[in-house]
Amino acid sequence: MIQILQQLINGLSIGSVYALMAVGYSLVYSIMNFSNFAHGGVIMLGAYFGFFFVTLYKMPFWVAFFGAGICSMLVAVLVERVAYKPLRARNAPFLYFMISAMGASMFMENFVIATIGPTFRTYPQVFPPQPFNLRGIYVGRLDMVMFVISCISLVALVYFIEFTKMGKAIQATAFNPKASALMGINTDFVTIVVFALGGFLAGIAGVLFGMKYTVYPQIGSITIKSFIAAVFGGLGSLPGAVIGSFILGILETLVSGYMMSQYRDLISFSLLILILVFKPMGLMGKSSEEKA
């Protein structure tokens, strides 16, 4: 019993970081209807920003943490301006967006390999390693911090989207871009804000992910699992992305805990195919069947 609870807690902590990443995929999908594969690159850069702020510039952790978030935010907006804006301007088919995204993620990953190098780096110990002991269940301090930060960020995001004017504009644009533009919403600016939000969350998620595991240029392809979570919850749906992430996180820890850890990724990707086959709109997404 204790063991199951232990696994659940580990799953919640990793699931919360997945959620931070997955909402980025979902936000962009809700506005632009394509899967932004450059998101993984932004997460990776976030991890590197944080790493260098902490080690090279000896910044206090929280400064480095927010610094990484803001830098990734700028990168995400830059990617949107360079790789997507020209396509948006001429109403290109979604395939072009996806190829462009692929190019951007390839560029970022290999730029880091070429300039910083492909070596694995570990964050210095920021939080003391000894875990809390809650009646026999051990909760690592880092896991606790991850969970709390993710929850605060997600609540802040929901508040922003539900209760601010900008958030309402985002919802309207997601519902119908053309009508919102006619109502006087600057959809171009809304897109920038969406990328900025996703980029910031990607940056801090990258730092947390890097602290939990290691930092290396291919993190982006690991974070594709958060994309699975977004698909699982239903692309374009924020609550779906969060719920999907927690389910995926818990499933992964249960698989590595009770089966074999090598099967963890295999099961995640098989889950992706199964979802697409049986419930392509995910848990709470819009219908994805071709409208003919």
Note the residues at the interface with other proteins (CB under 8 A).
33-35, 82-83, 86-87, 92, 94-96, 98-100, 102-111, 113-114, 221, 224, 227-228, 231, 262-263, 265-266, 269-270, 272-273, 276-277, 280, 288-290, 292
| Buried b or exposed e, range 27-65, using 16+ CB within 10 angstroms | bbbbbbebbbbbbbbbbbbbbbbbbbbbeeeebebeebb
Q: Which is nearer to other proteins, 113 or 283 (CB)?
A: 113
DSSP assignment of 222-267 equals HTHHHHHHHHHH-TT-HHHHHHHHHHHHHHHHHHHHHS-TTHHHHH
* CA distance linking residue 243 with residue 45, whole number of Å: 26
Residue type, 88: R
Q: Nearest approach, Cβ of 98 to other proteins (angstroms)?
A: 7
Q: Which is nearer to other proteins, 68 or 83 (CB)?
A: 83
Q: Which is nearer to other proteins, 182 or 277 (CB)?
A: 277
Q: Which is nearer to other proteins, 9 or 22 (CB)?
A: 22
Q: Nearest approach, Cβ of 276 to other proteins (angstroms)?
A: 5
Q: Nearest approach, Cβ of 160 to other proteins (angstroms)?
A: 27
Q: Nearest approach, Cβ of 216 to other proteins (angstroms)?
A: 15
Cα dihedral 220, 285, 242, 248 sign: negative
Q: Which is nearer to other proteins, 38 or 243 (CB)?
A: 38
Mapping DSSP to helix (H, G, I), strand (E, B) and coil, where does residue 7 land? helix
Q: Nearest approach, Cβ of 75 to other proteins (angstroms)?
A: 14
Residue 150: other Cβ atoms inside 10 A: 27
